[in-house]
């Protein structure tokens, strides 16, 4: 009788323990499911990147009544075009000139939407683009020009609250345009705070900087800053030369932006799309080798290989090999930017006119070398007539 009672008690205890464990598992599963539901759109997977850039030119509301309805119609076509190309990600230009295609307390409203920089268009374009892109099952990366304030005569006029008007001491004006100076700590803070504002307030999946770093025509505008730096270093043997100091200025920005994004939302990716020619990258102080090698700079890099397979100077496959041979940290994704805008034109010494399967062959090559995907430049070119024959072949390769 005693043994039978003990056995009954043991079974009862085991059943209770089992119930508790099952309840815990179900609870954890529910929590896990909820987390997945809340963050699924940001989830990093091994899915091939199939991106399409959408430049500010394609978002320009000139020629429309500039209403929210007109913008929604424009963006609906962008999404439809992306879907037709089997894309899974849009890289949308939301700060082309130290301005904003979103509600910002840091940068003035962009002329792209209202027609005049500093004049609010009446709606939050980025909020709408995030929602409609996600509703379509696509991801969205916010594309930023970190330093550029004006290029030539674009915008035609800067607003009174633009950084060049408010804080000219951290800017530089060159023949090519107006820029934030990469040498200025306050300029880095402005860029970093602007990124933090986006990641904190919008459901973006990534932030992307493009290929504009030190202005190509800015040979020594920050040399006084360099001399100040030299004086601050006590041991002369530790002083960086001018070129390395410039690299370090950009690297400081990249590292600060990366850290800022991850502190707000670790699931949001940070990427850079530099020039495809590595030597050219260094001529504008873009330290792509360090960004690829060291953790803490970028989650992905997407060199712009906007040239044909038979380019007379730079061969596409040679560039693939060169980037492939760079030392990479284990979490880095490397995509390739493909120049749709050249397809069907006489660019690259007419080599795009000799055949109509260049883009599809490039896709096969980047897969051959185990790249993680591609980004198409850009929506405007995908819609244009010149590239249609190329894109027809390309789509059959996807």
Classify 373 as helix, strand or coil. Answer: strand
Q: Residue 61 in contact with residue 98, Cβ under 8 Å? A: no
Query: What whole-number distance in Å separates Cα of residue 247 and Cα of residue 290?
Result: 10
Distance CA(28)–CA(22), nearest Å, equals: 10
| Class of 46-301 in CATH | alpha beta
* Contact present, 100 and 196 (Cβ < 8 Å): no
pLDDT at 49: 98
Rounded CA-CA distance 117/99 in Å is 8
Pairing of strands 139-144, 89-95: parallel
242 exposure class (CB count in 10 Å sphere: 0-12, 13-18, 19+): middle
Rg (CA), the chain: 25
Q: Going along the chain, which residue ranges are E strands?
A: 49-54, 89-95, 139-144, 148-151, 171-174, 177-180, 206-209, 269-272, 300-301, 304-305, 333-334, 336-339, 373-377
pLDDT value, residue 46? 79
Closest CA to 98 of 53, 185, 161: 161
15: tokens are 């059943």
Look at residue 118 in the predicted model and tell me its pLDDT: 98
Q: What is the pLDDT of residue 234?
A: 86
Give the domain ranges of the chain.
Answer: 46-301
374 near 316, Cβ under 8 Å? no
Pairing of strands 177-180, 171-174: antiparallel
pLDDT in tens, 330-379: 999 999 999 999 999 999 999 999 999 999 999 999 999 999 999 999 99
The low-confidence residues of the chain, meaning pLDDT below 50, are: 1-44
């Amino acid at each position: 009788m005693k043994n039978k009672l003990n056995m009954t008690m043991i079974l009862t205890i085991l059943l209770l323990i089992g119930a508790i464990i099952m309840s815990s598992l179900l609870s954890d599963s529910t929590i896990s499911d909820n987390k997945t539901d809340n963050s699924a759109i940001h989830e990093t997977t091994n899915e091939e990147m199939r991106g399409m850039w959408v430049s500010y030119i394609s978002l320009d509301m000139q020629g429309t009544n500039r209403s929210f309805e007109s913008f929604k119609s424009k963006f609906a076509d962008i999404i439809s075009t992306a879907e037709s190309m089997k894309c899974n990600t849009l890289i949308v230009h939301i700060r082309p000139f130290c301005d904003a295609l979103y509600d910002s307390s840091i940068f003035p409203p962009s002329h792209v939407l209202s027609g005049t920089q500093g004049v609010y268009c009446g709606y939050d374009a980025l909020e709408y683009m995030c929602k409609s892109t996600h509703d379509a099952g696509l991801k969205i990366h916010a594309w930023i020009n970190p330093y550029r304030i004006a290029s030539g005569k674009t915008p035609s006029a800067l607003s009174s609250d633009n950084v060049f008007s408010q804080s000219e001491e951290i800017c530089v004006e060159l023949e090519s345009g107006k820029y934030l100076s990469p040498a200025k700590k306050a300029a880095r803070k402005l860029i970093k705070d602007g990124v933090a504002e986006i990641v904190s307030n919008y459901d973006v999946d990534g932030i992307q900087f493009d290929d504009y770093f030190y202005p190509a025509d800015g040979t020594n505008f920050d040399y006084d800053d360099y001399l100040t730096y030299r004086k601050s270093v006590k041991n002369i043997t530790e002083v960086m030369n001018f070129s390395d100091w410039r690299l370090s200025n950009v690297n400081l920005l990249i590292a600060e932006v990366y850290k800022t994004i991850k502190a707000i939302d670790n699931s949001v990716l940070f990427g850079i799309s530099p020039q495809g020619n590595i030597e050219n990258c260094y001529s504008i102080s873009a330290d792509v080798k360090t960004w690829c090698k060291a953790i803490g700079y970028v989650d992905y890099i997407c060199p712009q290989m906007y040239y044909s397979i038979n380019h007379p100077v730079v061969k596409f496959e040679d560039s693939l090999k060169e980037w492939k041979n760079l030392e990479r940290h284990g979490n880095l994704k490397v995509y390739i930017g493909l120049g749709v805008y050249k397809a069907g034109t006489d660019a690259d010494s007419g080599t795009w006119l000799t055949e109509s399967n260049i883009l599809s062959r490039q896709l096969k090559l980047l897969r051959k070398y185990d790249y993680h995907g591609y980004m198409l430049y850009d929506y405007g070119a995908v819609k244009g007539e010149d590239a249609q024959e190329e894109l027809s072949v390309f789509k059959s390769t996807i």
